[in-house]
Amino acid sequence: MNVELLTQGNLKVVEKPVAVTLRGQETTYVKSSLKVSSTDNGAIYGYLTFDSPSGNVPFVININEIQIDFINALQPAECTELEFKKKWAEYEWENKVQVSTPITDLKQYVEHFAESMNIKLMTSITEADQKAGFLVANFYTKSKFQEDCLINMSIEKTADLASAPGEPPCVRIAGLIRLRAKTEGMALCVGEKCKTQK
């Protein structure tokens, strides 16, 4: 029996599983080592080939694609305002995500976003910001591979005009999250993670 693994993205098989011979009703485990070079999403797929004692044509079983996401472990990191501005000007890969949340308090949403993403909130939020109904905040993060990502969030409170007649308009938060990174994979992966934060 032989397991052949193939990869997509910045993954590379460095140690292939060894071929094994099994008796009837016997089980075994096979291992493979992969090298990961960046935070780009990747996939592993392949096939299992085995011969029967009768010597007929080998059987082939396809292994379903396994999606790999290396962006799960973002880490808060330190960055000065000057470094942030310099990197923002240098990094060419940008991604944009619309804000979608049931939270109606600006400060609460920004702090919730930073905590749930496990990223560094660089902007201090004042009472004046809260009263203005508009807020701009910067965040900074690094991956396990030390690839960094800059995040800028612009949000505001808006009145939902679709409220029922006679009732006060519902307040909601609307806005845009912009991300910049040195690599396309980092910008796309962190952007996808932002979309899941409510």
For 132, residues 6+ apart whose C-beta sits below 8 A from its C-beta are: none
Over residues 16-33, the mean pLDDT reads 86
Handedness of CA 71, 74, 77, 82 (dihedral sign): positive
**Cβ count near 71 (within 10 Å):** 21
- Maximum distance among all alpha carbons in the chain? 81
β-bridge pairing 148-160 and 170-181: antiparallel
pLDDT at 163 over 60: no
Which has the higher per-residue pLDDT, 11 or 168? 11
Lowest mean pLDDT among 98-102, 151-155, 193-197: 193-197
Nearest to 9 by CA among 29, 34, 28, 33: 34
Q: What is the pLDDT of residue 149?
A: 92
Residue 184 banded pLDDT, cuts 50, 70, 90: confident
Q: Exposed, middle or buried by CB within 10 Å (0-12, 13-18, 19+), for 180?
A: buried
- In the beta sheet, which residues pair with residue 171? 159
- Do 157 and 173 form a contact (C-beta atoms < 8 A)? yes
- Band (136; pLDDT cuts 50, 70, 90): very high
User: What's the chain's average pLDDT?
Assistant: 84
> According to the model, what pLDDT value does residue 122 have?
94
**Which residue is it, tokens 């006679």?**
166
pLDDT at 172 over 90: no
Tens digits of residue pLDDT in 62-112: 888 776 665 566 888 999 999 999 999 999 999 999 998 888 889 999 999
Neighbours of 190 (CB within 10 A): 28
Higher pLDDT, 74 or 165: 74
Whether residue 49 has pLDDT greater than 90? no
Query: What pLDDT does residue 69 have?
Result: 61
What pLDDT shows up at residue 188? Answer: 83
Angle ∠(130,162,157) on CA atoms, nearest 5? 10
> Where in the chain are the domains?
2-68, 72-195
Confidence of residue 168 (pLDDT cuts 50, 70, 90): low
Alpha carbon distance 152, 127 (integer Å): 20
What CATH number does the domain located at 72-195 have?
Answer: 3.30.310.10
Q: Residue 49 corresponds to which tokens in the numbers above?
A: 């080939």
